[in-house]
Amino acid sequence: MRVLITGGAGFIGSHLVDYYIQQGCEVVVVDNFITGREENVAQHLTSKQFTLIKSDVCDTFEIEGELHLILHLASPASPFDYLRYPIETMRTASLGTHNMLEITKAKQAKMLLASTSEVYGDPEEHPQTEDYWGNVNPVGPRAVYDEGKRFAEALTAAYNRKYGVNTCIVRIFNTYGERMREGDGRVIPAFINQALRNEPFTIFGDGTQTRSFCYVSDMIDGITRAAKTDYNLPINVGNPMEYTMLEVAEMIKEKCESDAGNKFLPLPEDDPKRRKPDISRARDVLGWEPKVTLDTGLKSVIDWFRRKM
């Protein structure tokens, strides 16, 4: 099988590269390295199974030969990144998704769109089911990502309805693991690096806002299962265990033996107060649910960041 992964040099994308290489597939990665890093796929650069194309998915380009599966993960994914690259983020969600769907149609392949829990915005329904339409500010600073992904979902669904393109949509909830960038602004790498340096933890708001954290191996399992199905509607993939930011901070301080205090900053505009997936559909359609607890996953990620210091 020949697989194309956009954003394949990113955090989740590079773990998907590992998975499909291990499965004996030929893997083509397209990445412009705005947020991805070549070191994430360096172990595959000399492999005959692997091809790296340094390009922007918004540009028109051709992939020679057959393709069976396209995993469209290209996009800045952390608030720091998509607020820094607002236009690039929206172009990737619109033009980039359109280009990938056109390639999927031409190759008679299947495309998995990596969407996000951010399509739910600051949710008024809790936990969030796939049938919830969300509470998104369409002109707020986060809209470049939130509305971009909502558009990408709508375009993907339209290609499925009009052209019969084989598509699936995975709504990814907060994921953590090895290869996260130290300065990408997401809470777990931020807290870990502050703990290892014994610096005060930066907490936005009062720290009572919640998130649900899925370890990367569980996320890869969910995504690859979704890629094998013929199910076209969105599927939440995430860990339904919910934690406040203060709880996560204390867990990381304990594991890192840090006695640092907390530095509280104003909550960013439109930042969700609660986030927790209903994964009933993932259980029913994919036979999937997460296996790695936050306690176990944090130990592995902390060890990884320690080795990199």
Q: What is the pLDDT of residues 27-63, one digit of tens each?
A: 999 999 999 999 999 999 999 999 999 999 999 888 9
163 within a domain of the structure (yes/no) = yes
Number of folded domains in the chain?
Answer: 1
Of 190, 208, 196, the residue nearest 79 (C-alpha): 190
Q: Is residue 76 part of a domain?
A: yes
Separation CA 158–CA 135 (nearest Å): 22
Q: Detail the DSSP E strand segments found in the chain.
A: 2-6, 26-31, 50-54, 69-72, 110-116, 166-172, 175-176, 201-204, 210-212, 214-215, 234-237, 242-244, 262-265
**234 belongs to a structural domain:** yes
How would residue 253 be classed by pLDDT, with cut points 50, 70 and 90? very high
- Whether residue 304 lies inside any domain: the answer is no
The yes-or-no answer on residue 19 being catalytic is no
**In angstroms, rounded to a whole number, what is the distance separating the alpha carbons of residues 122 and 136?**
7
User: Looking at residue 15, which CATH number applies to its domain?
Assistant: 3.40.50.720
Mark residue 33 as left, alpha or beta (left: phi above 0; alpha: psi -120 to 50; beta: remaining). left
Decide if 206 is inside a domain.
no
Residue 232 belongs to a domain: yes
Residue 243 lies in a domain: no
Q: Which of 20, 82, 145, 159 is catalytic?
A: 145
Residue 111: domain span: 2-176+216-238+274-290
User: Which residue from 130, 153, 150 is spatially nearest to 277, judged by alpha carbons?
Assistant: 130
Does residue 92 lie within any of the structural domains?
yes
Give the H/E segment covering residue 195. Answer: helix 187-196
| The model's pTM | 0.97
